[in-house]
Amino acid sequence: MYEYCTALKPELRPNGVLVVTLDNPPTNAFKGAMHDDLRRVLEDVNQDHDARVVVITGAGDRAFSAGGDIREMQRMLDEPMATLQSFVEARRLLQAFLRAEKPVIARINGHAVGLGATIALFSDLAYAVEG
Number of domains in the chain: 1
Q: How far apart are CA 76 and CA 84, in angstroms?
A: 9
pLDDT in tens, 69-124: 888 888 878 888 888 888 898 899 999 999 999 999 999 999 999 999 999 999 99
Residue 2 maps to a domain = no
Instruction: Report the pLDDT value the prediction gives residue 131, as an integer from 0 to 100.
Output: 74
Instruction: Report the pLDDT value the prediction gives residue 120, as an integer from 0 to 100.
Output: 96
Residue 1 maps to a domain = no
Instruction: Report the pLDDT value the prediction gives residue 81, as an integer from 0 to 100.
Output: 87
Q: Under DSSP, is residue 22 helix (H, G, I), strand (E, B) or coil?
A: strand
CATH of the domain at 85: 3.90.226.10
Q: Whose CA is closest to 7, among 54, 88, 69?
A: 69
Which range marks the domain in which residue 79 is found?
8-128
43-50 LR contacts (CB < 8 Å, sep 24+): 43/96, 43/99, 44/1, 44/2, 45/18, 45/100, 45/101, 45/102, 46/99, 46/100, 46/101, 46/102, 48/1, 48/12, 48/18, 50/12, 50/16
Percent of the chain at pLDDT above 90? 71
Q: How far apart are CA 48 and CA 18, in angstroms?
A: 10
Residue 3 maps to a domain = no
Residue 110 maps to a domain = yes
Q: What is the CA radius of gyration of the chain?
A: 14
Average pLDDT rounded to a whole number, residues 57-67: 91
